[in-house]
Amino acid sequence: MRKMAEGVYQIEVPMRHNPLGYTYSYLLRDAATLIDTGVGTRDAFDSLEEQARTAGMELTDIKRIIPTHLHGDHIGLVDTVRRLSGAKVYAHRTAIERQQESHARDVDMYSETRNETKLLGGSKYLDFLRRFESSFRGRMRSMDIDEPLEDGQILELEGSTLKVYWTPGHAREHICLHDEEKRILYAGDHVLPKITPHVSLRSHLEGDPLGDYIESLEKLRGLDVETVLPAHQYVFKDLNGRISEMHLHHKSRCEEMKKAIGDGRSTVFEISAQVSWDSRPWPEMEFWTKRMAARETLAHLVYLRNRGELDEEVIKGVLYYSLT
C-alpha cells in the first residue's frame, strides 16, 4: 500500500497465473471509494482488506465502487465488497448495455470460438480446440450497476472531485477519472507506462476498437495531470509523452501488417504470424495467446480497412485482406 496523495492510496492486489502479477486498486479514503477491486480470489480479497485497513478504512465502510471496465481483474471483488458494505457501483452506461447484449445473444461459446478461429484462418487449430469444448460452458455473470455514468460527468465526492472520461478501445465501457485539483489521472488500462493495452475485435462484433482507442487517447491529451495512476505496472508522469508513444506504436504495427500482406492476400492468422509481438515470437505462443493476438490483428486490419488502405473479402468462409 502506498499513499499517492492526501487521502489517496494505491493497493496492490495480487493476481496469480498472470504475468502482470497484480492489479492496482485505488482507495479514496475520505470518499470511502474504491476504483477497481482486483480479481475475485481469496488471496486478492485478503490483500485488499489488509491494505485498506492499513490505510485506515474497513471494507465494510466502503460507500461506492467505480470499476474502470468489466474485465475480471478489475471487477472480481465488486460483489464481495458490496455484500460486506452495501456500496453502490458506478460504471459507464455502456457497461450496462454490454452486459445486456451478452445475455440477449445466448450463444454457444464453443461454437462461436470455433467459427471465429476458422474465419480468421486458424483451421489447423480446430482439432486442438475441440479438446476444450466442455470448458466453454457457462455465461458471463452480470454485475449490477447502481449509478450509470456519462462522458464528462462530474462526481463530487468527499475530498475528491472526479471528471469521467469515456475511453473505449481496450474495452467498450472503459473510463478514466481525472482529479483536476490533485492533478491525478486514474487511467485503468487505457494508458499504461510500458506495455500497450490489448485492443482487439471479436469477429461477431461491429465497430472499430482501434479507431476508438486512438480517439480516446487524444481525448486525454493536454489534461492538467502530474501523476498517472494506472491499473498495472507503475506510476508515471508524462501523460502526453506516453500518448504520443502509443500513437507511434500503433502506426508502426499497422505498417508492419501491411508489409506482411505484401502483394497478395492473407488471412488474419497468416498476418499475425509475421508481426513482431512484444510478449514472445509467434512460434512460441500457445494457441490461446495466438487467438488473442489474432483478435488484436483483426482490430488493426479493420482500422486500416475503414480508412481505405485494405480490401476485405470472405472466401469459402475465411476472411482475407489485401492492399488497396
- The CA-atom distances, in angstroms, between 120 and each of 107, 204, 226, 243, 265 are 19, 12, 42, 30, 13
User: What's the Rg (C-alpha) of the chain?
Assistant: 20
- In this structure, how many other beta carbons lie within 10 angstroms of the beta carbon of residue 28? 25
Tell me what pLDDT residue 135 has.
80
**Dist. CA 219–CA 166, nearest whole Å:** 9
Terminal Cα-to-Cα distance of the chain (whole angstroms):
52
pLDDT tens column, 259-297: 999 999 999 999 999 999 988 899 999 999 999 999 999
Task: Tell whether 121 is covered by a domain.
Answer: no
- When pLDDT is cut at 50, 70 and 90, the band that residue 309 belongs to is very high
Count, residues in the chain: 324
Task: Tell whether 305 is covered by a domain.
Answer: no
Structure letter (DSSP) for residue 59:
G
Grid cell locating 308: 481505405
Instruction: Output the domain CATH number for residue 165.
Output: 3.60.15.10
Task: Tell whether 49 is covered by a domain.
Answer: yes
- When pLDDT is cut at 50, 70 and 90, the band that residue 134 belongs to is confident
Task: Tell whether 214 is covered by a domain.
Answer: yes
- When pLDDT is cut at 50, 70 and 90, the band that residue 205 belongs to is confident
- When pLDDT is cut at 50, 70 and 90, the band that residue 108 belongs to is confident
Higher pLDDT: 133 or 173? It is: 173
Task: Tell whether 280 is covered by a domain.
Answer: no
Task: Tell whether 16 is covered by a domain.
Answer: yes
**Total of domains in the chain:** 1
Task: Tell whether 24 is covered by a domain.
Answer: yes
Which helix (H) or strand (E) is 147 found in, with range? Answer: strand 147-149
Tell me what pLDDT residue 76 has.
96
Helix, strand, or coil (residue 296): helix
Tell me what pLDDT residue 270 has.
98
**Dist. CA 265–CA 262, nearest whole Å:** 8
Please give the residue range of the domain that contains residue 44.
Answer: 2-98+140-246
Higher pLDDT: 319 or 133? It is: 319
For residue 45, which of 73, 81, 69, 21 has the smallest C-alpha distance?
81
Grid cell locating 211: 479507431
Question: What is 213-270 written as a DSSP string?
Answer: HHHHHHHHTT---SEEEESSS--BS-HHHHHHHHHHHHHHHHHHHHHHHTTSEE-HHH
Task: Tell whether 311 is covered by a domain.
Answer: no
pTM score: 0.94
Residue type at position 317: G
Helix, strand, or coil (residue 25): strand
Least confident of 32-46, 147-161, 197-211: 197-211
For residue 63, which of 34, 95, 40 has the smallest C-alpha distance?
34
